[in-house]
């Protein structure tokens, strides 16, 4: 039987990693990154890792969507890292070092943000291990986060995908985007390796072009879930809520396609709540639960 809300230290069903040395088979390492420094609207992402773990205690083990149990998935919860608020560069170094440590024991990063900038740090670390020119970044998001800068600031949650694009990945696929500045929109249109799937053009009956795009991906995938990609009726507590987002049903269908591929990293970001048991936290936990059920059972 799952535990009460008073045991929030780890994501439910995860193992604790205790100096076991390098794992024989690759597994997933959950790391919380409570970095909340460049939020432009609602602050509050610093408490999200705790709330996501807490929300996991409201979820039961058998995943009815995928007809699989999370209990047979293999993953570890390593706790939170220390971040340096108001200092992206120092925080980024800590994140990069942490991911290198995870790799050294055969763990892939599953990052609980925190704000969206952490994706850049993760990809910088992973680019030392794989050829980033062969990597596809899939980003569920309401915004394209492709601003060149924000008030002369280069590293913010609104510029993160522009910085990721500068790392030169094979492709960036953004699902759920429904907002951009004029400059961002022109930039996206000018780039051949950025593909946007607007939620208004997708429905559960008409997923074929997105499915085909995912099926055709070759090489590794990094998956970033900005919680504002979802409709605010599902996850209202985010840094920048925006109507007309994607549904959980739609997400779960697409996620199962993505997880058939080779995922080398995952993050969930921009949840902004400190309320135990609120629906936003539980929905974010469900996303992590879904992902681990799929990739941990391979
Ligand atoms: Mn974002």
Q: How confident is the model over 167-174, as a mean pLDDT?
A: 98
Q: What is the pairing mode between strands 62-63 and 68-69?
A: antiparallel
Report how far residue 34's alpha carbon sits from residue 53's, in angstroms, rounded to the nearest whole number.
Answer: 13
Has residue 223 been placed in a domain? yes
Has residue 5 been placed in a domain? no
> Mean pLDDT, the chain, as a whole number?
93
Query: Which of the four pLDDT bands, split at 50, 70 and 90, describes residue 298?
Result: low
Which residues crowd ion ligand 1, with CB under 5 Å? Answer: 116, 141, 145, 226
Residue 26 has pLDDT above 80, yes or no: yes
Has residue 2 been placed in a domain? no
The whole-model pTM stands at 0.95
For residue 8, the CA-to-ligand 1 centroid distance in Å is: 26
Q: How confident is the model over 236-242, as a mean pLDDT?
A: 97
Q: How confident is the model over 126-145, as a mean pLDDT?
A: 97
pLDDT in tens, 50-98: 999 999 999 999 999 999 999 999 899 999 999 999 999 999 999 999 9
Domain extent for 196: 15-295
Has residue 245 been placed in a domain? yes
For residue 23, the CA-to-ligand 1 centroid distance in Å is: 33
CATH of the domain at 152: 3.40.800.10
Give the pLDDT of residue 4.
43
Give the pLDDT of residue 1.
37
Who has greater pLDDT, 202 or 286? 286
Report how far residue 109's alpha carbon sits from residue 172's, in angstroms, rounded to the nearest whole number.
Answer: 19
Give the pLDDT of residue 39.
87
For residue 141, the CA-to-ligand 1 centroid distance in Å is: 5
Report how far residue 277's alpha carbon sits from residue 286's, in angstroms, rounded to the nearest whole number.
Answer: 12
Report how far residue 200's alpha carbon sits from residue 217's, in angstroms, rounded to the nearest whole number.
Answer: 23
Give the pLDDT of residue 8.
54
Report how far residue 107's alpha carbon sits from residue 22's, in angstroms, rounded to the nearest whole number.
Answer: 9
Dihedral of CA atoms 270, 274, 280, 283 in degrees, nearest 10, equals: 90
Residue 6 has pLDDT above 60, yes or no: no
How many structural domains is the chain composed of?
1
For residue 61, the CA-to-ligand 1 centroid distance in Å is: 29
For residue 20, the CA-to-ligand 1 centroid distance in Å is: 35
Has residue 9 been placed in a domain? no
Give the pLDDT of residue 297.
73
Three-state DSSP at 183 gives helix
For residue 181, the CA-to-ligand 1 centroid distance in Å is: 14
Give the sign of the dihedral formed by CA 258, CA 172, CA 245, CA 51. Answer: positive
For residue 226, the CA-to-ligand 1 centroid distance in Å is: 5
For residue 167, the CA-to-ligand 1 centroid distance in Å is: 17
Q: How confident is the model over 171-187, as a mean pLDDT?
A: 97
CB neighbours (10 Å) of residue 170? 17
Q: What stretches of the chain adopt beta strand conformation (E)?
A: 15-16, 27-33, 62-63, 68-69, 75-80, 107-113, 136-140, 171-175, 194-197, 221-226, 263-269
């Amino acid at each position: 039987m799952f535990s009460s809300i008073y045991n929030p230290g780890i994501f439910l069903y995860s193992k604790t990693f205790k100096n076991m040395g390098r794992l024989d088979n690759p597994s997933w390492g959950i790391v919380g990154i409570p970095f909340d420094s460049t939020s432009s609207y609602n602050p509050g992402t610093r408490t999200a890792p705790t709330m996501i773990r807490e929300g996991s205690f409201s979820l039961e083990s058998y995943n009815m969507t995928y007809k699989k149990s999370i209990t047979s998935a293999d993953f570890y919860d390593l706790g939170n890292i220390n971040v340096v608020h108001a200092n992206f560069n120092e925080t980024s170094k800590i994140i990069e070092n942490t991911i290198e440590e995870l790799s050294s024991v055969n763990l892939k990063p599953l990052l609980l943000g925190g704000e969206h900038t952490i994706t850049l740090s993760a990809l910088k670390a992973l680019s030392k291990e794989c050829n980033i020119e062969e990597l596809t970044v899939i980003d569920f998001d309401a915004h394209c986060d492709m601003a060149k800068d924000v008030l002369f600031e280069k590293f913010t949650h609104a510029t993160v995908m522009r910085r990721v694009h500068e790392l030169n990945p094979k492709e960036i696929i953004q699902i759920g985007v429904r907002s951009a500045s004029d400059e961002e929109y022109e930039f996206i249109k000018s780039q051949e390796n950025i593909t946007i799937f607007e939620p208004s053009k997708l429905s559960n009956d008409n997923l074929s072009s997105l499915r085909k795009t995912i099926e055709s991906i070759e090489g590794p995938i990094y998956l970033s879930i900005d919680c504002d990609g979802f409709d605010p009726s599902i996850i209202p507590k985010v840094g920048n809520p925006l109507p007309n987002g994607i549904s959980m049903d739609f997400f779960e269908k697409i996620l199962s396609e993505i997880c058939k591929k080779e995922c080398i990293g995952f993050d969930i970001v921009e949840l902004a709540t400190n309320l135990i048991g609120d629906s936003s936290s539980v929905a974010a936990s469900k996303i992590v639960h879904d992902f681990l059920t799929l990739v941990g059972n391979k």
